[in-house]
Amino acid sequence: MNKLVFTLSLALGVVSASQAQTFTGTGGAISDNLDTTYFLIPVSGLSPATINNSFGLEQVCMDLTHTKDRDLDIYLESPDGTIVELTTDNGDLDDNYTNTCFRWDVQNLIINGSAPFTGSFKPEGILPLINNGQNGNGTWRLRVYDDNNTGNNTGTMLGWSLTFGNTPAANLNFTSSNLPIVVINTGNQVIPDDPKLMVDMGIIWNANNARNYMTDPFNHYNGKAGIEVRGSSSQMFPKKGFGLELWDVNGNEIDSSILGMPEESDWILSASYSDKSLMNNVLSYHLARQMGWYAPRTVYVELVIDGQYQGVYVMMEKIKRDNDRVDIANLQVTDISGPELTGGYIVKIDKSTGNGGGGWTSNYAPELATNGQTIFFQYEYPSDVEIVPQQQAYIQAYIDSFETALAGPNFADPLTGYAKYIDVNSFIDYFLLNEISRNVDGYRLSTYLYKEKITAGNKLYIGPAWDYDIAWGNADYCSGSDTTGWAYQFGQVCSGDYWLVPFWWTRLMQDSSFRDRLRCRWEELKNTALSETYLHNWCDTTAAWLNEGQQRNFQQWPILGTYVWPNPWPQPVTYQGEVNELKQWITARRTWMNANMPGTLAGCTPLSVHTPAAASGTMLVYPNPSSGNITTTFTLPQADAVMITITDITGREVMQPVSFNAHTGENTLPVNLTLLAPGNYFIRISGSHTSLNTSVIIHTPQ
């Protein structure tokens, strides 16, 4: 490629070369305080005029002064209206972009740079979107948005340029996948944080393990959806996560089953950008379900937006009150007294970013608070705009009663203490999931609780599990990557953090009964769902399933071996290295937990601590892992004609479903899976009164 010398000019001009054509534009003052300034380059005489993967935009360069770089959001808009994000909120409090160029063929990410950003950087958005076959002649606009609502920060665009040539920012040639393909068409619009943008969405998912091709029809979903950028800290990453809502043509919500998951309207496309194993959330939710609790179901997909490949994503359920999600009462605005008032609530402890945020402050400060930190409970369901005053008063009073009992002198009394208010088993399993993953956000952020009605037990449960991207050793702060120490003691290592852990966990660990039940449950799980064999096999099976897609993902986002917040050092340079690091971390973490688990084994009996909370019965599969010959034992409260289905990790049926007339009580059914390839499979037993799920790992016979 010809070497480009970037020369700014206050007059419009063009510099032509055999392989590069550079157009420069004027500068001017940058509007301050929530204003957008547009800087223009009218391109004419571009030859060839059509810009695509053979000839097109190679780079965008700019030179500007500004007294606080993080106030600036800068986008490039092409003549046909395509908009690409170049840089958003980077540079912290420092100044200026000096001779800064954005290219697609470099690995140095703008989000990892520092002011004044001299040199070449990969932009936050996907630059190849520009080279979409449009006519490059016309008016190009650089949109500079100052998002600081306090003002008083000034800047000047000194000039900017566009370079076109024979090595353009090129689309990845994505044609097919072993994963389902999700295709979204926005009409080249920017996807906002809020509100949702109406788009066309199609899903290609062929049955019987058949390959999925971009040329295939949309055979799984083909319709409208609303889409928005989602996340809190993750919004700084160039690979964005998205919230989806299925819509009809009028923008009304519709329910639909997505990729074998129960029908609903609200879904998440999780980007897993900083989690380079692409596994942390999927593994965590899988383990929560293995423990017997609801957690979001997940399916790996590859995503295409406006013809541009985006990478491997996880399609997952959004946490909602629903019979197939958080299965609690549907609380109505008229439920303001009596038993109807007592249940159907979901609250969370989290940052206030995103929708909602209304709630109340706990009367009990977090342990070791040094800067006046508090615990804030947010209304999730009903939302802060739907919950009525009587319901607000009830759920606040109930959680305050739990906290008061837990803080009181008789907190361990099984009748009048904390156990009167909470489902202890849910707290034990939630503790073990957060500790095995040493979730640095655990207990203090993305923490959900839900309350059943008095007619359904009248207890407060903790869960569902949510947001484990920076768990499993993937955090370089507050001891998040350590394999030793307890995550619930976060305040001992980061007492100055704004978000601290509620006092609950230290207090619970002061109760010998809680410690003993915790130890018993650990002894059960460490040999089943939390065994090293099970966890390692799950990682290997999932890595094999992702092997093809991860290569494209990291070609599009070349971050292997580079730092992405908050990756600990060192960063493996290959995907297999990421998987191996995760497995090694799991081994070390299990070893430490096993040696330091409190409590005694007195009174423990196998499977005595917790029975999965399913009104339709219970289910056990053994041996697990297995070479293929398994036994399924399930107990039903009433007789039912059931169907047994076996699916792979994408939800595809891999064997002919089996009908079975199950009787009341315990049923035992042998199942032969020896013809299946080694991997992770899901077993579902469903009927008129039955809905049971579990998984089994099939390994190669030794």
pLDDT digits (tens, 9 = 90+) for 569-605: 999 999 999 999 999 999 999 999 999 999 998 777 5
Taking the CA atoms of the chain, what radius of gyration do you get in angstroms? 27
C-alpha span between 123 and 595 (Å, rounded): 47
Given this model, what pLDDT does residue 150 score? Answer: 67
DSSP helix/strand/coil, 32: coil
* Beta carbons within 8 Å of 555's beta carbon, 6+ residues apart: 172
Beta pairing, strands 298-305 & 181-185: parallel
Mean pLDDT of 476-504: 97
Question: What are φ and ψ of residue 394, in 5° steps?
Answer: -65, -55
Residue 686 is which amino acid? S
Given this model, what pLDDT does residue 547 score? Answer: 94
Q: How confident is the model at residue 614 (pLDDT cuts 50, 70, 90)?
A: very low
DSSP helix/strand/coil, 402: helix
Mean pLDDT of the chain: 89
DSSP string, 9-24: -SS-EEEE-SSEEEEE
Q: How confident is the model at residue 664 (pLDDT cuts 50, 70, 90)?
A: confident
- Check: CB of residue 22 under 8 Å from CB of residue 61: no
- Check: CB of residue 60 under 8 Å from CB of residue 78: no
Q: Which domains does the chain have, with CATH numbers?
A: 13-165 (2.60.120.260), 176-317 (no CATH), 338-524 (no CATH), 532-596 (no CATH), 618-698 (2.60.40.1930)
Question: How far lies 312's CA from each of 183, 309, 533, in Å?
Answer: 12, 9, 26
Check pLDDT > 60 for residue 10: no
**SS3 string of 487-521?**
HHHHHHHCCCCCCCCCCHHHHHCCCHHHHHHHHHH
Q: How confident is the model at residue 355 (pLDDT cuts 50, 70, 90)?
A: low
Please state at what angle helix 575-596 crosses helix 424-436, rounded to 10 degrees.
130
Q: Which of 125-139, 420-434, 458-472, 678-692 has the lowest mean pLDDT?
A: 678-692
CA 10 to chain centre: 45
Q: Which helix (H) or strand (E) holds 384?
A: none
Highest mean predicted confidence (pLDDT) among 139-153, 162-176, 393-407? 393-407
Residue 647 is which amino acid? T
Check pLDDT > 60 for residue 609: no
- Shortest CA distance to 143 belongs to which of 196, 82, 100? 82
Mean pLDDT of 205-218: 90
C-alpha span between 695 and 630 (Å, rounded): 11
C-alpha span between 541 and 225 (Å, rounded): 32
